[in-house]
Every structure is written in structure tokens, then in C-alpha cells.
Amino acid sequence: MISSETLADQMIDRHCACITEAAQETFASVCGMEIAVADEQRVETRDGVILSVISLVGDIEWSVILGLPSGTAAAAAAKFAGFEIPFESEDMGDAIGELTNIFAGLVKSKLDATGIKVEISLPSVVRAKGLEVLVQRKATSMKIIFTSEAGLLWAGVVAGQAAAGLGG
């Protein structure tokens, strides 16, 4: 018998491309920024980072995450909104939350094309310095670091056990 953790792993592996594509399409269409998968293993967050999470619940249970260090966040938000947005402002959370909303919407539509149905939640946005994302012991996760003209950023997914063996 295959454990549910292994099935969650397989699900993430199988749909890794849709996470990468959704992130690239989001930044290209909303911010006019090209992002490419980077070789770096770590993103520096000492100067501040903004993290936005949306849950996808249905045939699978995923949380999709966008993480942007302060410099990348400021550049992406300015391109998105068309005006400068200070990193510490409320508008910054709004802009990155909306970027994540579009990212999650694209992930949802790509999963839908493979027969996996999910609903998406509202975004939860956190701003901090030196933030580290800790994943629950029984959850499976994947993090893809991207490089862009504005600096590094990452997209991630955390998968729960429920319905991990469905679809795909």
C-alpha cells in the first residue's frame, strides 16, 4: 500500500509544472516581469519579506504560497499598480495578495484542465523580517525559487493528506 504522504508527493511532482507555469504567467502578465527557475537554494529575508498564502480545497488540499523579499516585492507591486508602493504600507499587502489570487486562479484553472476540481480561499498575507516557513510534519511541500530583474522570489505548495490520491 502506498502511504498518503507518498501520494501527496506524487501529486506535487506531477503538477510541479503547473505551479511553475502559473507563477511565470502571473508575473509576466500582471507585472511584465520574466521570472526563471533559479539555482539558488535560499532567499535572503533579513531586510523584510512578504508572504501570501491561498488554500485550494476540493479533490486535493493544497496551500499555494508566494514569497517576495522587500526589494522584489516593491518592484513587482510598482509594476502591477503603476505607481510606487512602500514596502511597509497596507497597499503592499493588497498588491501581493492580489498577485497571489491571480497565481492561485491560474493554478486552479490548470488543475481543472487535468480533471482536478478545487475552490480557492481569500489570500492571507504576512510581512516580516527573517521569516522562515515551517511545514507540518505530515505535510508535503515544494518550493521553487525564481530569479527576476528585481531579485529572487519563490512560489511554493504545501499539500495535506486528504484526497492526495485523486485525479491527475
Partner 1 sequence: MNINALVVDDSGIMRKLVMRSLKEAELASFIFTEAKDGMEGLEKFDPDKTDMMFVDWNMPNMNGIDFIKKVREAQKRYVPAVMITTESTMEKVEEALNEAGVDTFIVKPFTVDVLKSKLEPLFDKIAAAQQNGGGFFSKLANKLN
Q: Residue for cell digits 516593491?
A: 74
Q: Which is nearer to partner 1, 5 or 87 (CB)?
A: 87
Q: Which is nearer to partner 1, 85 or 157 (CB)?
A: 85
Q: Which is nearer to partner 1, 44 or 112 (CB)?
A: 112
Whole-number minimum distance, CB 33 to partner 1, in Å? 12
Q: Which is nearer to partner 1, 55 or 70 (CB)?
A: 55
Whole-number minimum distance, CB 49 to partner 1, in Å? 19
CB contact set of 97 (below 8 Å; sequence gap of 6+): 52, 123, 125
**Which residues in this chain contact partner 1 in the complex, by CB under 8 A?**
26, 29-30, 77, 80-82, 85, 90-91, 94-95, 97-98, 101-102, 104-106, 108-109, 112, 120, 122
Cα–Cα separations (whole angstroms), residue 70 to 3, 37, 109: 39, 19, 29
Whole-number minimum distance, CB 136 to partner 1, in Å? 25
DSSP-assigned states of every residue in 14-77:
HTHHHHHHHHHHHHHHHH---EEE-S-S----TT-EEEEEEEEEESSEEEEEEEEEHHHHHHHH
Whole-number minimum distance, CB 122 to partner 1, in Å? 6
